[in-house]
Amino acid sequence: MSSAQRRDRDERGRARNARPRDAAGRPLPHGAEGVERVPEDLVLTPEESVAEAQRLLDEGLPFQAHEVLEGAWKASGDDTRELWRALAQLAVGLTHAQRHNSRGAVSLLRRGAEGVGEWASSATVPAPAGLDLPGLSRHAAAVADRVERDGVVTLSPAELAPRLRADA
């Protein structure tokens, strides 16, 4: 049986990656001890998504926070889809920085900051779940500036865990 035939698949036949992952989201060998995975079928309200993503960021797990935000992006309506996408990009940018991938970090942090800013300036609905869009955009731009200026850096816990809500 080929490796393609042995791949873990969901009920629709789509490939699923069951390998454990480290804290930065990198795949580990089968049978290794990894961090808890975000279920692929996780569906949360916007408030629950923000709370869970913040918890994961606070624990130094931006890759897992990205997965929560990506789930919100995929489940959102047209009015907020681009905002959730930008938030997921911001979390992936933090993941790249955590992995010491400066180029990917700068690119995705800037893309996330721009997406958040663009959504905020053109939105016809309030930001969901009390999101602090100006603060998130500033945080992403500041981290991108630091990584671009200093190259490979180890981010502080505060840099890896932006406050998603102004009141948090």
Q: Judge contact between 146 and 158, C-beta under 8 A.
A: no
User: What pLDDT, on a 0 to 100 scale, did the predictor assign at position 22?
Assistant: 81
Residue 1 — pLDDT band, cuts 50, 70, 90?
very low
Which residues are paired to 27 by β-bridges?
21
What does the pLDDT look like over 142-154, one tens digit per residue?
Answer: 999 999 999 989 9
Which region holds residue 126: left if phi is over 0, alpha if psi is between -120 and 50, else beta?
A: beta
Give the rounded percent of residues in the chain with a pLDDT score beyond 90.
Answer: 71
Find where tokens 């699923």 sit.
16
Average pLDDT, the chain: 90
Position with higher pLDDT, 114 vs 25: 114
Mean pLDDT, residues 20-44:
84
Position with higher pLDDT, 77 vs 40: 77
**Which tokens belong to 147?**
């990584």
What does the pLDDT look like over 45-54, one tens digit per residue?
Answer: 999 999 999 9
What does the pLDDT look like over 78-91, one tens digit per residue?
Answer: 999 999 999 999 99
Distances (CA, A) of 162 to 15, 22, 122: 32, 21, 23
Given a cut of 50, whether residue 59 has pLDDT beyond it is yes
Say how far apart CA 56 and CA 91 lie, in whole Å: 10
Domains of the chain plus CATH, in order, are: 46-160 (1.10.3450.10)
Say how far apart CA 15 and CA 119 lie, in whole Å: 32
Say how far apart CA 143 and CA 41 lie, in whole Å: 31
Given a cut of 50, whether residue 4 has pLDDT beyond it is no
User: What pLDDT, on a 0 to 100 scale, did the predictor assign at position 6?
Assistant: 59
Given a cut of 70, whether residue 12 has pLDDT beyond it is no
Given a cut of 50, whether residue 70 has pLDDT beyond it is yes
b/e 52-76 (16+ beta carbons within 10 angstroms → b): bbbebbeebbbbbbbbbbbbbbebb
